[in-house]
Structure 1
Amino acid sequence: MYAPYDFRLEEVPVPETGDDDILVKVGGCGICAGDVKTYHGGQRVWGATPEQAFIEAPCIGGHEFFGTVEKVGKNVKDYKVGERVLAEQILPCGECRFCRQGHYWMCQRHYIYGFKHDAEGGFAEYMNFHKGSVIHKLPDALTDEQAILVEPYACGMHAVERAEIQYEDVVIISGLGTIGLAMVCAAKLRSPKMVIGLDLRKNRRDKAKEFGADLVLNPADDDVNEIIKNLTGGYGADVYIEASGAPASVSQGLNLVANMGRYVQFGVFAKDVTADWNIIGDTKHINIYGSHLSGHCYEPVIKGMINGTMKTEGILSHKYALEDWKEAFETAEKDPSAFKVALLP
């Protein structure tokens, strides 16, 4: 990734494996909505000025990866050649306040695989898992297709954890892409009164019903406010999780959530969002939670995929070779039938 609209397929050397590194032959890497936004110059990555950029370009992208151990450094003891592994998307420093407190996914240095020279990603045949990586060995029962989905599913599970869902809660999930569908599965595990999914696309709404949503609605066609009001005796939903990244979803959520309810922001926006902030305090006394990455959620997601509670059928909808990356990115962005698109080196 050199610059917005300047991504290139290039031959580069296989990474040199340091004494504390693990060289991994990549088995597959999903294309995140964030990768598409990065291609289009998303300000969160490229910054308003070059000095504010998060990315260290040029850099190999991709953070939804898994692979097979190809080589281990001399100081690596717990991993063997041939084992299937994945690393979490954050490469924590292990030294900052957040790492020391166990909140490694909020590491102050904040190296994300696929954005830094010292943490290049999975859109390649080989990559290094560097010292400090949070690595997980993959059980034989987990398929390769499921392995590609672990990262986005863990992000979805983490957001659901932030919502602190109770048994009597009415839960709304806005945005039913791959991560939103993972949220449906994770929310159902908490046995709330009702899980409601919102999305404009019929195939996503259908998949949410298949995965356990009690009700799905199309905000463009359905009077969501009236329906939620009628379902809840006029109170509104107890939990609203924003997973669409659409600005209109923010005001929608603030209006739909009940007094003293919980609003979780996961979706990423292309630009600043405007909403009536008074609703939060002066009107409804609600709690606002942010949700970032997927701390401590990889292992429960892997377990859930194997036992069937974190459903994955049909989610990896498109697979492309690296040389077809342009078509893959276009599919991820524009094809209404797409759920998760992956590159297979």
Structure 2
Amino acid sequence: MKAAVFYDREDIRYEERPIPQIGENEILLKMKICGVCGTDIHKVVDRIVPPNTVLGHEVSGEIVQVGKNVTQFEEGDRVFVAHHVPCFTCHYCNRGNYSLCTQFKATNLDPGGFSEYIRVSAVHVKHTMGKLPSAMSFETGAFVEPVACCLHGFESIALNPGDTVFIMGAGQIGCIQIQLAKYFLADRVIVSDINPFRLNKSLEFGADYIINSKNEHVRDRIMEITDGQGADVVIISAGVNHLLTEAMECVGKGGTILVFAPFKRDLVPLRADRFFQDEIKLVGSYSSNPYNYDKALQLLKMGVVEADKMITHRFHLSQLNEAIQCAHSTKENVLKVLIKS
């Protein structure tokens, strides 16, 4: 089989690999679609994974072989699958913090989603795999994992109907979050970015106001839109450290800031007095958990998240290097990039 293998920032090789052998409780999946995630881009551009790594985790595909003990799936089933599984029994799992579980990050698909065939382990089969509705395309099915991640983030912010939500970053995740915020009955959704194409796309997904942070003063615009009150919820969906400082200036009294992007390990100045005086809450959200997938699938099925409208580019597996460069480019009119085998 073929796989797109990371070696360096601009060195992703389309290589021949042996088809994985499965055990009696496992499944062999033929990858049909794998989405390019912001974390895939981060791992490639910043070289934070070792050479000889196969990335990719937003996977949909068709089952081509099942282990003899697998009863809930069969050959030919169209499915989605996600890449991390918690143990459900450790300190963190018992507190509902599944993505902090040691096993969570240790588990993965074999190899990653940017390969023609994937061995799906027994714990993945049990906890992160699900059948796609007959009318749902593989492309839409590949959105289950990122929508689940966004749902996990929304679990942390206690969004109330009528709230004003400010999303910093109009990329693929930001546009999913716009649609979810509207679904959860946010009154106003404000989106900032420096990319005019993405800002205009955010309007298509329900944003009420857009702010070009390259040309406009973000705090002033937020206060103008909210009559000086600030946003009830601020979601940081771009991995730019200074956005945290900016978010503290834009969140209203009693509001919540959700960090939904990987930051570098730098010190960031914050208005520390606001935590006490204004009862500001600052929370983080990493990945998803197995309890998010069914809801994500249903929201896609209902059209709450319009996956088809988000796709701007499609590349063959052999073109992953070009796909990463496209997704990372500030010049391309790009939102969601998909890889097909």
Q: Displacement of 1:35 after TM fit?
A: 1.3
Q: Displacement of 1:62 after TM fit?
A: 0.7
Pick from 269, 286, 292: which aligns with 1:292?
286
Pick from 170, 195, 213: which aligns with 1:176?
170
> 1:93·1:132 contact (CA, 8 Å) conserved in 2?
no
> 2:7·2:13 contact (CA, 8 Å) conserved in 1?
no
The one-letter code matched in structure 2 to 1:15 is P
The one-letter code matched in structure 2 to 1:339 is L
Query: 3-state DSSP class of the match of 2:22?
Result: coil
Please tell me whether residue 86 in structure 1 is matched to residue 80 in structure 2.
yes
* Aligned pairs (5 A) from 1:148-163: 148-163=142-157
Please tell me whether residue 130 in structure 1 is matched to residue 126 in structure 2.
no
Q: Displacement of 1:11 after TM fit?
A: 0.6
| Aligned-residue RMSD, C-alpha | 2.1
* Aligned pairs (5 A) from 1:141-290: 141-276=135-270, 278-290=272-284
Please tell me whether residue 305 in structure 1 is matched to residue 300 in structure 2.
yes
> 1:155·1:179 contact (CA, 8 Å) conserved in 2?
no
The one-letter code matched in structure 2 to 1:121 is G
Moved more, 242-251 or 295-304: 295-304
Using the size of structure 2 for normalisation, the TM-score is 0.90
The 1:224–1:102 alpha-carbon spacing in structure 2 relative to 1, beyond 3 Å, is: closer
Deviations 1:79-136 (A, max 9, x none): 01000111223133344333455544332222366xx5x7421100000110111211
Query: 3-state DSSP class of the match of 2:268?
Result: coil
Number of the residue aligned with 1:18 = 23
> 1:7·1:39 contact (CA, 8 Å) conserved in 2?
no
Number of the residue aligned with 1:49 = none
The one-letter code matched in structure 1 to 2:171 is G
Moved more, 304-313 or 134-143: 304-313
Q: Displacement of 1:254 after TM fit?
A: 0.6
Q: Displacement of 1:273 after TM fit?
A: 4.6
Q: Displacement of 1:269 after TM fit?
A: 2.2
- Could you tell me which runs of 5 or more consecutive residues in structure 1 were left unpaired when the two chains were aligned: 47-54
> 1:3·1:41 contact (CA, 8 Å) conserved in 2?
no
The 1:187–1:165 alpha-carbon spacing in structure 2 relative to 1, beyond 3 Å, is: same
Number of the residue aligned with 2:332 = 336
Moved more, 335-344 or 88-97: 88-97
Q: Displacement of 1:299 after TM fit?
A: 1.8
Number of the residue aligned with 1:51 = none
Deviations 1:260-313 (A, max 9, x none): 210100011244251225145245321111111122222222212222211223
* Whole-angstrom distance in 2 between the partners of 1:173 and 1:9: 36
Moved more, 227-236 or 12-21: 227-236
The 1:12–1:328 alpha-carbon spacing in structure 2 relative to 1, beyond 3 Å, is: same
The one-letter code matched in structure 2 to 1:203 is F
* Whole-angstrom distance in 2 between the partners of 1:74 and 1:99: 30
Query: 3-state DSSP class of the match of 1:10?
Result: strand
The 1:276–1:195 alpha-carbon spacing in structure 2 relative to 1, beyond 3 Å, is: same
* Whole-angstrom distance in 2 between the partners of 1:275 and 1:38: 26
* Whole-angstrom distance in 2 between the partners of 1:109 and 1:172: 34
Deviations 1:185-211 (A, max 9, x none): 110011122111111112211221111
Q: Displacement of 1:9 after TM fit?
A: 2.0
Using the size of structure 1 for normalisation, the TM-score is 0.89
* Whole-angstrom distance in 2 between the partners of 1:123 and 1:178: 19
The one-letter code matched in structure 1 to 2:215 is D
Corresponding residue pairs, total: 331
* Whole-angstrom distance in 2 between the partners of 1:112 and 1:327: 29
- Could you tell me which runs of 5 or more consecutive residues in structure 2 were left unpaired when the two chains were aligned: none
- Higher relative strand content: 2
The 1:41–1:223 alpha-carbon spacing in structure 2 relative to 1, beyond 3 Å, is: closer
The 1:22–1:120 alpha-carbon spacing in structure 2 relative to 1, beyond 3 Å, is: same
Deviations 1:240-268 (A, max 9, x none): 00001112211110110012210100011
Number of the residue aligned with 1:110 = 104
> 1:90·1:112 contact (CA, 8 Å) conserved in 2?
yes
Deviations 1:149-180 (A, max 9, x none): 22222222322232211123111011111111
